[in-house]
Amino acid sequence: MRISELSRTSGVSVPTLKYYLREGLLPPGAPTAVNQAEYSEGHLRRLRLIGILTDIGGLSLRAVGDVLDAIDDDSLTTHQMLGVAHHALGPRDTDDEEPTADVTAARADVDRFLRGRGWRVSPQAPARRSLAQALVTLRRMGRDIDDAVLDRYADVADRLAAQELSRVTGSRSRIAAIESLVVGTVVFEAVLVALRRLAQEHHSARRLSPRTRDGGLVVDK
Amino acid sequence: MRISELSRTSGVSVPTLKYYLREGLLPPGAPTAVNQAEYSEGHLRRLRLIGILTDIGGLSLRAVGDVLDAIDDDSLTTHQMLGVAHHALGPRDTDDEEPTADVTAARADVDRFLRGRGWRVSPQAPARRSLAQALVTLRRMGRDIDDAVLDRYADVADRLAAQELSRVTGSRSRIAAIESLVVGTVVFEAVLVALRRLAQEHHSARRLSPRTRDGGLVVDK
DNA sequence: GCAATTGGATAGTAGCACTATCTTTTATCG
DNA sequence: CGATAAAAGATAGTGCTACTATCCAATTGC
């Protein structure tokens, strides 16, 4: 398959394919001449993966590149691979500023919570920081979260994760397993977030719609 | 309070404040002279809200502007306001292409599912489309989701949403309620996503790398 | 009185994800 | 065999977002 056919079957324009090639997101095709190369089914599959990661997962091309590199690195275990994917999915810019006192405290809370749950999680996991940051925000807004609530959320997360992982372990080839894991992470997350918003809207309609507004406070604009 | 003090207490640089003022994200201060204006506590609160929406929620400034406009629009009910927030949180660019057959089918599935659950959700809710898109992706990858699984996810989402909404209804002023709702939507979502990843990593460690005792994962990003 | 600050305006920047154009070489069809 | 289309590779340009930088005249605070 040459580039124009790859473009046609993948729906990605030729210039964009060349761009992906330049950026190393797509491995070069097998050269058949100085200016001719052959692309395979694998290129097509990779393109599909890139599409899922960017469109559904909302990853930047740089993050996609990190995930792809990890997939291609045979020295990594599948578990390490997932860590890389989580890393890529994490907050785009890691601000390396000095954390404030409440952030430090929240991180300690998170660590304590994870230990309490017996969850084995890498100390570098970006989700640790995300969680701490969210907790700080809640606290600053005066809506401090009690451990019972956090535990309820964690129970939910635990059950979902266990179920998903059980599908992946007995999987085919390494690359298929990895892709399935990454895609599952991203896509099931999208499913959960979408359902949560749908549920929220439903409850909001039940609770808030029949009534009129409560305050009528004038905003200083 | 003048602009430099607003900058100092909010941590946002003066040029950026001016930019927000220009873009209408921040209402102008009360002018005290031709080139002097007074900023209030309300400006500080709004800046905090902007920060949460962009940093935690990952919203673009344009989306933040939409949410802010909705907050300031007294003719909207709190429920409608939430709809706007959901809209802003939805996928950035709504591609208005002709949906393929499987996408149309998935949308119908989603509608049927919502009816079956008795969820009252606006037909325009972006989460409908997100969910359908995710379902299509899963289907294309040969990991079709059965209704039992979807129901389990939905149960989870339902419980979480009900719990969050119950906190908001008995709230103070309209603006406080709205901010609490928006922030809750965004921040609790971050909490859930973070916990889900943490749980996933834990299960991944248990299943895929039983020998590592620390979560020992070295990633150079 | 005068340096520092302010509001307002305009222009510039960095990063991202492409998109366009050009050159040289090769394939392919009549 | 030759005309035409397509290929690889390189360089430059585009549109968008979220800021920064610089200027200027008016004003404030010591």
Better pLDDT: A170 or A162: A162
Band of pLDDT at residue B81, cut at 50, 70 and 90: confident
Task: Let me know if residue A140 belongs to a domain.
Answer: yes
Mutation choice for A interface testing from B200, B213, B220 by most A CBs within 10 A: B200
Query: Which of B56, B163, B217 has its CB closest to that of A133?
Result: B56
Supply the pLDDT for residue A42: 93
SS3 category, B197: helix
Kindly tell me if the per-residue pLDDT of A170 is higher than 70.
no
Q: Is the CB of A120 less than 8 angstroms away from the CB of B153?
A: no
| pLDDT confidence band for B94 (50 / 70 / 90) | low
Instruction: Say what the pLDDT of residue A215 is.
Output: 35
For B18-44, what is the mean pLDDT?
93
pLDDT, residue A210, reads 56
Contact indicator for B182, B67 with CB cutoff of 8 Å: yes
Two tokens, residue B14: 């003066």
Average pLDDT over residues B133-161: 87
Q: What is the pLDDT of residue B210?
A: 57
Is residue B32 over pLDDT 70?
A: yes
Rounded to the nearest 5°, which phi and psi values hold at A214?
Answer: -105, -30
A219 three-class SS: coil
The pLDDT, as a whole number, for residue B9 is 94
- The pLDDT tens digits of the residues spanning B172-213 come to 677 777 778 788 888 888 999 999 999 999 998 887 765 554
Scan for tokens 């007074």, then name that residue: B38
Instruction: Quickly tell me which residue has 């998935």 as its tokens.
Output: B106
Query: Quick check: A121 and B198 CB within 8 A?
Result: yes
Complete DSSP assignment for B22-90: HHTSSPPPEEEETTEEE--HHHHHHHHHHHIIIIIT---HHHHHHHHHHHH-TTS-HHHHHHHHHHHHS
Q: Is residue A8 domain-resident?
A: no
- Residue B110 is predicted with a pLDDT of 96
Distance from CA of B155 to the nearest CA of A (A): 9
**How large is the C-alpha radius of gyration of chain A?**
22
Rounded to whole angstroms, how far apart are CA atoms A7 and A14?
Answer: 6
Find the mean pLDDT for residues A6-22.
96
Is it the case that residue B92 has pLDDT exceeding 90?
A: no
A10 lies in some domain: no
The predicted pLDDT at position B170 comes to 62
Residue B35 — very low, low, confident or very high, per pLDDT cuts 50/70/90? confident
Can you tell me the distance from the alpha carbon of A158 to that of A126, in angstroms, rounded to the nearest whole number? 18
Residue A216 lies in a domain: no
Terminal Cα distance for chain B, rounded: 42
Produce one character per residue of A155-185: b if its CB has 16 or more CB atoms within 10 Å, e if not: ebbbebbeebbeebeeeeeeeebbbbbbbbb
Q: Which range of residues forms the domain containing residue B156? A: 40-208
- Average pLDDT of chain A, as a whole number: 85
Is the pLDDT reported for residue B97 higher than 80? Answer: no
**What Å value separates CA B20 and C1' C9?**
15
Does the nearest atom of strand D lie within 7 Å of A37's Cβ?
Answer: yes
Closest listed residue to residue A195, CA positions, set B171, B125, B8, B56: B125
- Largest pairwise CA distance in chain B: 70
User: Do A131 and B164 lie within an 8 Å CB cutoff?
Assistant: no
Query: What's the pLDDT score for residue B148?
Result: 86
How many structural domains comprise chain B? 1
Residues 132-191 of B with CB under 7 A from strand D: none
Q: Which two tokens stand for residue B162?
A: 């009900």
Q: Which of A162-166, A209-213, B32-36, B173-177 has the highest mean pLDDT?
A: B32-36
Amino acid B221: pLDDT: 38
Give B119: exposed, middle or buried? Use CB within 10 Å, 0-12, 13-18, 19+: buried
- A140: tokens are 């600053």
With respect to residue B185, please indicate whether it lies within any of the assigned structural domains: yes
Q: Is residue A68 assigned to a domain?
A: yes
Tell me whether residues B193 and A52 touch, CB distance under 8 A: no
Residue A30 counted as domain residue: no
Per-residue pLDDT, B163: 83
pLDDT band at B154 (very low <50, low <70, confident <90, very high): very high
Q: Test B83 with A141 for CB contact under 8 angstroms.
A: no
Question: How far is it, in rounded angstroms, from Cα A161 to Cα B152?
Answer: 13
The verdict on residue A181 lying in a domain is yes
Say if CB B101 and CB B58 are below 8 A apart: no
- pLDDT one-digit tens code per residue, A144-155: 888 888 998 899
Q: Average pLDDT of B76-97? A: 77
pLDDT of residue A92: 60
The one-character DSSP state at A56 is I
Length of chain A: 221
List the single residue in A79, A150, A205 with the smallest CB-CB distance to B208: A79
pLDDT for position A49: 93
Q: Is the model more confident about A26 or about B140?
A: A26
Q: pLDDT grade, residue A65 (50/70/90)?
A: very high
* Closest by CA position to B141, among listed A178, A110, A165: A178
pLDDT digits (tens, 9 = 90+) for A85-144: 888 887 765 556 677 899 999 999 999 999 999 999 999 899 999 999 999 988 888 788
- Calpha distance A129→A11 (Å, rounded): 37
Contacts of A174 (CB under 8 A, 6+ apart): A78
Dihedrals φ, ψ of A31, to 5°? -70, 135
List all nucleotides in chain C with at least one atom under 7 A from a protein Cβ: 5-10, 16-21, 24-27
Q: pLDDT tens digits, residue range B98-128?
A: 788 999 999 999 999 999 999 999 998 999 9
Residues of B in contact with A206 (CB under 8 A): 120
Give which of B164, B163, B181 is closest to B172, Cα–Cα. B181
